[in-house]
A and B are shown apart, each in its own frame.
Chain A
Amino acid sequence: MRRSWFRRSAICLLLACTFIINGCEWVQDPKLLMSVPKLPEEQANLMSIINAQLPEGGEKVRPNNSTDGSAVRMADLDGDGKAEAIVFYEIPDSDVRLHGMILKSDGKEWKKVADFEGGGVRLDYVETVDLTRDNRLDLLVGYGSQDRDSLNKGMVVYSFVNNRIEKIFEQPYSQAVIDDLDGDSKKELYIVSHHKGKPPLLSQYQYMDQKLTKTAEIQMDVEVNAVYNMVSGLISKDKRGLVLDLSVGANYYASIGLLCLDGQFIEAVPMENTIRSKSYSSTDINNDGIIEFVKNETPQGWDIFREYEVPYFLNYFQWDGKNELKLVQKQYRDYSDRFHFTIPTSWYGRVSVDTKSDRDEYIRFIDYQTNETLAEIKFFSIENWERYKNKWTYLAAYGEEVIGILSKEPLKLNDGSLKLPELEQDSETAE
């Protein structure tokens, strides 16, 4: 009796052992078990079809300058209530590098319904918007050249009808914006094009007589060399318009604000008010939905210095809708953009930079009436920073240096965040 137990136990033990040994990779490197998360079924199907449709060596490309940088764009181009997939791909070393294809789903399966050749070598811009006023989205594609900063790129508008893709518009462009600025609730296309020997030209296109027609145009001032940024939106509390950031004359910059009324561009904010020394872009700096104009300000006492030595303040203005620009934000921005911070409103009208400051070592902000120190900015070596970091506030790190600020009143740094980031990249982050 006793012997049989032992036999049984021995067999059990043996079984367990073999089981353990056979299940060999008992502990596996967890890294090897990682995998890309699955796509939702629909997207996974689509992606596999797309990959199957790509020719050999073909690779999906993303637009460089679109708000939506996805490689597969979903949009309802034919107005059937279901989104089609738009994919651009490039085949290096072929006659036509850029191609596009459109895939449609019949509810179960995706099928390629159109394939078209693009121009240029880079995909700059992709947008879907109804320009033809037929309640179907049109496909706007900007093709760029190899040179990133080339002035002109090609804008093509495609229409997708009956599973066929049709080119309905083609123009060179440098900046493009689609918006409804004349209030007819139809989108217009605004294009800036550069011309040799002539100032840049801003044109408005609208769909008329079965095609996109130029309905307005304005030439920039003769001194304007280029338009480096164009944004549309509210340029005052109640007026929609365009803001163009310009490079003007011999190395200075400015912006103009344009309204578009009755087929006419009207210069609402002239460029004289926004002349600056650097190519800052107009933007909605305070997130109130209204685009601000940007301008340099030379601090008190720096008039006698050379232009490139001046530690400029950067002022953001809002247009009041008539002829005044109102200051909404003042910043100090480093000349090589290593850091910036927003100057508190209490300093307005009295802040300046001590002329003995060195922009690469030590900057002292003063009340120029009393010469009282308002804040200091200092460049520390990383070792030194360890000693000062309790007292000083971290502003930025650049190469081997840490830039800190010491201020009497609490500052809203950068975008209003008061928190300090961890300097050490390897710092343990507790969960």
Chain B
Amino acid sequence: MEGNRFLILKPGIRRSVVMHYFIVVFLTMLILEVIFMLAIRTYYYDSVYNHLRSHASATASYYQRYVSVLYNDNDRSLLPELLNIFQLDNAEVQILDKKGDVLISHTGFQVKDPIRTSDVIIAVNEMKMSRWVGKMPETGEMVMAVSSPLLAKGDVRYVLRLVTSLDNVNQKLTSTVLLSFVISGSVLVLVLIISIGLANSIVKPINDITVASAQMAKGRFDVRVTEEYRYELGELAKTLNFMAQEIVRSNQMKDDFISSISHELRTPLTGIKGWSETLLSGNMDDPEETKLGLNIITKETDRLIGLVEELLDFSRLKQNRIQLHKESVDLESLLEETIFQVKSKADQKQIELQLDIAEDAHGQLTTTGDENRLKQVFLNLIDNAIKFSPLHSTIRVELSTGDCSCIVKVIDQGIGINEDDLTKVMDKFYQVNPDRGGTGLGLAISDEIVKAHEGELSLHSESQQGTTAMVQLPIRKADLEEA
């Protein structure tokens, strides 16, 4: 099975990693190979050329200095002797005239056709030594020919041509190049194997994560990915695990919400049902009782409507469909109004409500916003504070100014919120204690409203010490300019 996985590389990261490695190494090898081939060919050819050249130039200068001066122009008897002077092992020596006709050749045979290769032409015309690599016309053998002009009295008398076979050299080159191909091939295979290993080290975690997330998608949020992978993969694993955890938590929250909302809805309904039955079965003539019953029904219905409104409000806020009627709002009078409204509730728990207004904020702190919505925020905050404060405590409401903002603080001496819960209380449906009733939406809605006013709602709390809710709202622009 392992073997199959190596042989058949399905499209994917493994294959692309292997291919990338392969291509990079292959190209590198190819370039190196070409360079190597050129270099080694140059080395071999140049060495042969240098050998021929040094022999040619040494003997040619010997001829020029000592031999040429002794002979007449047309002395043919010189040629066999010259051939002996120029004799070189493993090369054929030819002596040519200026037309390229071979006057005498080392082979002993007469060469009938004149030689017109570039080396001869350069030797005659430019008086320079040069080489020619090509095929012998008769045998097709690769040879290198080096021609040197033989100068006598300042002119080209003869051309000395040394010809050597390159067959062995080429053979050697071929075998060397083949060998290097084999080596490159094995390096390539090696790299391929290593790259498959490397690719696996990347692909395996990804596969594991994929498997885990597939299970999560199927609803198994208890599955966890190993977080020991390094770097990005580790991060990914952690994030995935965190996601699963959050999904579990928010599910839990939703369940809690549903149960609490059901409870919340049931309580007034029970009251309504109870009173309706009592009224139906009872004596309709007792107006006192009927009035009491209907009052309770109306109150409970209002509570239900309020609950439903709250839910609707929240979903509207979430979808940004709420309409804010923005106008100038005087925060001081707004807070006074709010406190007045909750006074009766506070009095029930004998809680004292204090409104502290900073000196510089007296009668001049205004913000732009929807008065009713802001009132809803403050009502919610103070209501919460009352709900979680013990009897005979004090709740302070402070109004002050900050940097370009007005700050409203609601400080209670209540039970406080755990650090863990503090970050979550503003989530919708979250309730520190789901048994205490309520929808868990109040703070979430307040937060949305404050955000819609470009403000910020934050909570600071210490367990058993009390909680401070702080609302920061921008100061109205006109006021700023005045200031």
Residue ranges of A at the interface with B (Cβ–Cβ < 8 Å): 1-2, 5, 8-9, 12-13, 15-16, 19-20, 23, 26-31, 33-41, 43, 47, 60, 62, 64-74, 148, 281, 283, 337-340, 394-399, 413-415, 417, 419-422, 425-426, 429-431
Contact = CB atoms under 8 A, between A and B. Distances in A.
Nearest to B156: A417
Interface string B124-157: 0111111100001011010100000101011110
A19 B40 CA distance: 19
Closest 6 pairs (CB-CB, A-B):
A71-B108, A425-B61, A30-B47, A414-B155, A40-B138, A64-B77
Contact of A36 (B45, B53, B127, B164): B164
Contact of B60 (A20, A41, A425): A425
A413 B108 contact: no
A415 B153 CA distance: 10
B8 to A, nearest CB: 16
A68 B110 contact: yes
Given A23-B179, A69-B79, A337-B69, A421 B151 contact: yes
Contacts of A426: 57
A71 B111 CA distance: 12
Contact of A9 (B80, B141, B194): B194
19 contacts: A1-B2, A5-B196, A5-B197, A19-B183, A30-B45, A30-B172, A36-B92, A37-B143, A37-B163, A38-B165, A39-B107, A62-B108, A70-B105, A283-B73, A395-B153, A397-B154, A413-B154, A413-B155, A421-B155
Nearest to B167: A35
A128 B40 CA distance: 50
A16 B53 CA distance: 38
B165 A34 contact: yes
Contacts of B77: 64-65, 148
Contacts, number: 183
Contacts of B105: 70
B65 interface: yes
B4 interface: no
Interface in B48-102: 48, 51, 53, 57-58, 60-61, 64-65, 69, 72-74, 76-77, 79-80, 90-92, 98
Nearest to B204: A1
Given A72-B108, A421-B154, 20 more contacts: A5-B196, A16-B187, A19-B179, A23-B179, A27-B40, A29-B47, A30-B44, A30-B48, A31-B51, A33-B168, A37-B136, A38-B165, A38-B167, A40-B138, A40-B139, A68-B110, A281-B73, A397-B154, A414-B153, A431-B130
Nearest to B51: A31
Given A69-B79, A70-B109, A34 B193 contact: no
B190 A12 contact: yes
Given A1-B2, A43-B107, A396 B91 contact: no
A27 B197 CA distance: 36
B407 interface: no
Given A20-B183, A70-B110, A429-B129, A37 B153 contact: no
B104 interface: yes
Given A28-B172, A38-B139, A425-B57, A74 B155 contact: no
B104 A39 contact: no
Nearest to B197: A5
Given A12-B190, A396-B154, A421-B127, A34 B90 contact: yes
Nearest to B95: A69
A421 B127 CA distance: 6
Interface in B282-329: none
A67 B103 CA distance: 8
B17 to A, nearest CB: 14
A8 B193 contact: yes
Nearest to B43: A30
A422 B56 CA distance: 14
Interface string B160-198: 000111011100100110010011001101100110110
B147 to A, nearest CB: 10
Contacts of A395: 153-154
Contacts of B186: 12-13, 15-16
Contacts of A43: 107, 109
Given A2-B197, A69-B76, A69-B80, A338 B165 contact: no
Select the residue from A37, A39, A64 with max chain B CB neighbours within 10 A.
A37
B390 to A, nearest CB: 65
Contact of A5 (B79, B167, B187, B193): B193
A259 B475 CA distance: 137
A73 to B, nearest CB: 7
Contacts of A66: 76
A337 B2 CA distance: 90
B462 to A, nearest CB: 54
B155 A415 contact: yes
Contacts of B60: 425
A13 B77 CA distance: 64
Contacts of A414: 153-155
Residue with the highest number of chain B CB atoms closer than 10 Å, among A16, A417, A429, A431: A429
Contacts of B172: 28, 30, 33
A425 B150 CA distance: 11
Given A34-B51, A38-B141, A429-B128, A417 B155 contact: yes
Contacts of B126: 419
Given A5-B193, A36-B165, A421-B149, A62 B104 contact: yes
A162 B387 CA distance: 145
Contacts of A38: 136, 139, 141, 165, 167
Contacts of B127: 419-422
Contact of B110 (A8, A74, A397, A413): A74
A430 B189 CA distance: 43
A33 B183 CA distance: 24
B76 A65 contact: yes
Contacts of A283: 73-74
Given A2-B197, A37-B164, A425-B61, A396 B153 contact: yes
A47 B109 CA distance: 9
A273 B243 CA distance: 124
A283 B130 CA distance: 32
A283 B74 CA distance: 9
A398 B2 CA distance: 84
Nearest to B137: A40
A12 B182 CA distance: 11
A429 B53 contact: yes
Contacts of B104: 62, 69-70
B153 to A, nearest CB: 5
A90 to B, nearest CB: 13
B69 A398 contact: yes
A319 B231 CA distance: 105
Contacts of B74: 281, 283
B443 to A, nearest CB: 54
Contacts of A421: 127, 149, 151, 154-156
- Most chain A beta-carbon contacts within 10 A, residue among B149, B153, B197: B153
Given A69-B103, A421-B151, A35 B183 contact: no
B76 A67 contact: yes
Contacts of A47: 107-109
Given A36-B90, A415-B155, A431 B131 contact: yes
Contacts of B143: 37
Best-buried of A20, A34, A36, A47 by chain B (most CB within 10 Å):
A34
A37 B141 contact: yes
A303 B473 CA distance: 133
A19 B186 CA distance: 11
A341 to B, nearest CB: 8
A399 B77 CA distance: 24
Contact of B128 (A16, A396, A422): A422
B168 A36 contact: no
A20 B183 CA distance: 8
Q: Which of A283, A397, A426 is most buried by chain B, counting CB atoms within 10 A of its CB? A: A397
Contacts of A39: 107, 109, 138-139
